[in-house]
Amino acid sequence: MLKYLIHISFLIPVILFLPGYYGLNTIKSPDRNYIISNDSDKVFATDNLFKYTANNYVKPYSDIFLFGSNMGYYKGWKDEQIGDILCGNNSVNVFGSGVKTLRPSLPARFLEKYGYDCKVNTFKHYIFIGAKDNTVIVGYPSDKTKDSTVFCTEKNQPGKVFKNLYEPIFIRTAKGFEVNPENYYALYLYKTVSLYKEYVKFWEIWNEPDFDETGKIGYRSKGYSKSWWNVNPEPCDLKNIKAPIFYYNRILRISYQVIKFADSSAYIATGGLGYESFVDAMLRNTDNPVDGSITKEYPLKSGAYFDCLSFHIYPQYEHIVRHYDVKEKNWYYMRNSDLAAKSIFVKKNNLQDILGNYGYDGKLYPEKIFILTEYNIPRKKFDNTLGGSEVQKNFTIKSLVEIQKAEIAQAYIYTVGGTDTAKAKKTFDLMGLYTDINLKVPYNCEYTEQGIAFKTTSDILTGTKYDGKKTSELNLPDNISGGAFRKINGKYIFVLWAVSDKDEFESSEADYTFAFSENNQITLRYWNYSLTKLESVISPENIKLNSTPVFLIER
């Protein structure tokens, strides 16, 4: 019978006074101690390999906010060249688009085919061009390591997770305790993290494991009896894992133990979640494959096994932007850049409320760090959803302010380049910092207005820190919004705009006067400053604002 890990806190007297008693060894990891029973040739980490889980400690993330972007595959381009047009590369005379952190992926099926070290030089290039604290998606087994179990019996669909997930995570060898090669996910993860850890800050476990294949359940409220608030998702619902939610919790558990074993400074993040009901289902279950209940082998629910909650939001689908009123049997619309940006703030707070319900409020358990790994709206309206070049441009700047107001550590816009407008068929085709770059010769690319606005915001605000107190001191009226950002030298940059408060309306106007300005002049820059480099010096009184944010810099 397998022996279980024992928390070090219960064994301090044994360690101090009875060395070697019961054959216990203390093995040191970079900043953690753990104790494992010696009388078994396989060790099943049913308790916790480390002294701490995320229920005990989450290292605060105190670095500055970085402007991030997703990457992706584009025909005719190497990953390094995509990085260049995002981050800039002086050696090839590419200015970039203001991106400071990247979100690539290292799937198992790719690394097993081309070699685990096949992207090391690529990741070195990312560092060379200035990308830091990158978020990397992991997961996705090859055909060889995929679980063939049919969890989705209704459609006779096999799972998309790794097989042998419930094999022991660690074993003893002649060299000591090592990752069990029979646990394919654990082995893949250990090899990957060991090779790439110096280039990565956040490891994102899968991408959108909650993707609702039915499109009819994930968004449903608690009032719907079959919603994920009330029952666990069915394997058939979950397009990207096709397995019970307990298996995703098991993946998180393995991820936490293996990644911390390989790099104790890394952050483990959930995989870009979109549905609040899935977050609740995840947190109320353990990794017990039978029913998610707590047992001796499965003592902790999933919140113990991640530091970061990564989420996705596409505001054109959010409730405050559009929703169907069941009583009135009619759609309600408020499609403007302000509510689109505000929806990010609302979503983050809703997710924090759910975490708080399970004790992740900084009192019972440590608070989670938040990262936003996909967000955007399209530059063209599709059907009755939000879209358009003007609203997208305004949203870009406003969202980057609201994200920092919401204390989201990092954010990654979706995506690099869109499709030609004439060929676009859905909202995701017309997102991006550049127009269509497929089959273009590097570095032949053209900024979208969104790309210009993004670069301007990054160029001006990188290195600053959002200051909530100073923002409050602005005493902004209801028709004006924005934020104050403190520079290293103590001076402030203010991003202000007139609030759009009507459906499909981006033409608001307002005047603002700085009551506390110590200077008689202030520097004004517009949304396209990164392209024009034009600025003007104005009076801090009666500043004309409209729906497009401006940057006002203390002199």
pLDDT in tens, 320-345: 999 988 888 899 999 999 999 999 99
Q: Is the pLDDT of residue 357 over 50?
A: yes
Reduced to 3 states (helix: H, G, I; strand: E, B; else coil), residue 398 is helix
Say which CATH architecture domain 468-554 belongs to: Sandwich (2.60)
Triad 397, 402, 405: Cα angle to 5°:
135
Across 29-33, 312-316, 431-435, 449-453, least confident range:
29-33
> Region 297-315: what's the mean pLDDT?
97
Closest CA to 377 of 430, 332, 323, 435: 430
Query: Tokens representing 514?
Result: 């700085």
CA dist 33 and 41 (Å) reads 20
Are 417 and 432 within 8 A, CB to CB?
A: yes
Mean pLDDT for all residues in the chain: 90
Q: Is the pLDDT of residue 207 over 70?
A: yes
Strands 410-413 and 369-375: parallel
Q: Read off the pLDDT of residues 117-161 as tens digits, 9 standing for 90 and up.
A: 999 999 999 999 999 999 999 999 999 999 999 999 999 999 999
Please name the residues in contact with 528: beta carbons below 8 A apart, sequence gap of 6 or more: 449, 452, 453, 456
What pLDDT score does 13 carry? 29
Reduced to 3 states (helix: H, G, I; strand: E, B; else coil), residue 466 is strand
Provide the percentage of residues in the chain whose pLDDT is more than 70. Answer: 90
What pLDDT score does 48 carry? 46
Alpha carbon separation from 319 to 325, 333, 384, 514, 520 (Å, rounded): 10, 9, 14, 34, 43
What pLDDT score does 177 carry? 82
> Region 313-325: what's the mean pLDDT?
95
Q: Is the pLDDT of residue 461 over 90?
A: yes
pLDDT bin (cut points 50, 70, 90) of residue 519 is low
Provide the percentage of residues in the chain whose pLDDT is more than 90. Answer: 85
CA dist 408 and 406 (Å) reads 6
Across 18-27, 231-240, 263-272, 434-443, least confident range:
18-27
Please name the residues in contact with 135: beta carbons below 8 A apart, sequence gap of 6 or more: 68, 101, 102, 103, 200, 201, 202, 203, 204, 269, 310, 371, 373, 410, 412
What pLDDT score does 218 carry? 97
Query: Tokens representing 303?
Result: 């919140």
Segments of the chain assigned to CATH 2.60.40? 468-554
DSSP 322: E
Question: What is the end-to-end Cα distance of the chain in Å, rounded?
Answer: 71
Domain 66-464 has CATH 3.20.20.80: yes
Segments of the chain assigned to CATH 3.20.20.80? 66-464
Query: Tokens representing 349?
Result: 């707070």
Backbone CA torsion sign across 348, 354, 360, 362? positive
> Region 89-104: what's the mean pLDDT?
97
Q: Is the model more confident about 1 or about 98? A: 98
Q: Is the pLDDT of residue 4 over 80?
A: no
